[in-house]
A = this chain, B = another copy of it.
Amino acid sequence: MSLITLTTDFGTKDHFVGAVKGAIYSELSDARIVDISHQISPFNITQTAYILKNAYKNFPTGSIHIVGVDSELSVENKHIALFLDEHYFICPDNGIISLIASEIKPEKMVEITIHNAVVSSFNVLDIFVKVACHIARGGTLEVIGKRISDHKQLTEVYPFINDEKNQIIGSVIYIDNYGNVISNITKKLFQQIGKGRSFEVEARSYKFDKIFQKYNEGIDYETPIENRQDDGKKLAIFNSANYLEIAIYKSNLKTVGGASTLLGLKYRDSITVRFF
């Protein structure tokens, strides 16, 4: 039994996701299909890279991940399939895979070459499903593509480190369901550059000299609950994906607001760490 995941910007209203699942079940009646996300902001490759990186590694090895974001074939946007960290990925060559592949080298990578003469505007259905089912049946990547050694890089997902090595200049790459603002600064990079020094995180005019591991770490449970004013407290945290995040304790975008709305932090805004 094969496990196939879907990560797309299709939304969940249209027939697109249903059509793709139907096509997979038509080829592989015992497939297990899992939605990672269909709510990616249309054509947003950085969001896709972040979501995919943090979801895929929880799946069993051998899982096949279809990524359908900005996947229309063109001379500048090839389709690729790769085997990396014991997982298969089928995606456009637009940088989506680079967040994962920058840490773990692909073991095998091909440019998909099974496109026939028929022009398609729904490549996930017409091409990616076929490739996924081929792999699920035990087929090799060489049969559906030609070996390549490079893929496109996504540049904006990496922070800048100054020459003195006392500053990491990152940026917002993702805003989550709670409005929490996620930077491209990983805990690993932070430790590597910081080497245990004191630091200050700056996001707009807000400063943080502590980075938490849990959202409720700053709550003083000794104070009687009726005297606490912790909801809405802002904090810096290494989130569960090990990225530096600016969060609001118990935030809700639809009621009290979240870090993104309350602190005015948007996608691509800079977040800086200074060590001293």
Q: From B33, B43, B72, B216, give the contact of A214 (CB < 8 A).
A: B72
Q: Find the B residue at minimum CB distance from A43.
A: B250
The answer to whether A34 touches B25 (Cβ under 8 A) is: yes
User: In whole Å, how far is A45's beta carbon from the nearest beta carbon of chain B?
Assistant: 11
Q: Is A120 an interface residue (CB 8 A)?
A: yes
CA distance A201 to B26 in the complex (A): 36
CA distance A251 to B54 in the complex (A): 26
Q: Is A107 an interface residue (CB 8 A)?
A: no
Q: Find the B residue at minimum CB distance from A258.
A: B42
User: In whole Å, how far is A2's beta carbon from the nearest beta carbon of chain B?
Assistant: 11
**Chain B residues within 8 Å of A42, by CB:** 177-178, 250-253
**Chain B residues within 8 Å of A60, by CB:** 22, 25-26, 29
CA distance A51 to B22 in the complex (A): 13
Interface size class of A (residues with CB under 8 A): 35 or more
The 8 A CB mask of A173-215 against B (1 = contact, 0 = none) is: 0001110000000000000000000000000000000000111
The 8 A CB mask of A28-65 against B (1 = contact, 0 = none) is: 01101111111111111000001111111111100100
Q: Which of A8-16, A144-152, A153-161 contacts B (4 or more CB under 8 A)?
A: A8-16
The interface residues of chain A, by DSSP majority, are classed as: loop
Q: From B23, B41, B59, B74, give the contact of A22 (CB < 8 A).
A: B59
Q: Is A104 an interface residue (CB 8 A)?
A: no
**Chain B residues within 8 Å of A23, by CB:** 58
Q: Is A109 an interface residue (CB 8 A)?
A: no
CA distance A218 to B165 in the complex (A): 46
Q: Is A221 an interface residue (CB 8 A)?
A: yes
User: In whole Å, how far is A8's beta carbon from the nearest beta carbon of chain B?
Assistant: 10
Q: Is A262 an interface residue (CB 8 A)?
A: no
User: In whole Å, how far is A145's beta carbon from the nearest beta carbon of chain B?
Assistant: 21
CA distance A26 to B216 in the complex (A): 29
Q: A120-B214, A177-B10, A221-B75 are in contact. Are A55 and B239 (CB under 8 A)?
A: no
29 contacts between A and B (CB under 8 A): A12-B35, A12-B38, A13-B40, A13-B176, A14-B37, A15-B50, A15-B53, A15-B241, A17-B35, A18-B36, A18-B55, A19-B58, A21-B34, A22-B34, A22-B56, A22-B60, A22-B63, A23-B58, A25-B59, A26-B58, A26-B60, A33-B34, A43-B250, A77-B216, A121-B213, A121-B214, A121-B239, A121-B240, A122-B240
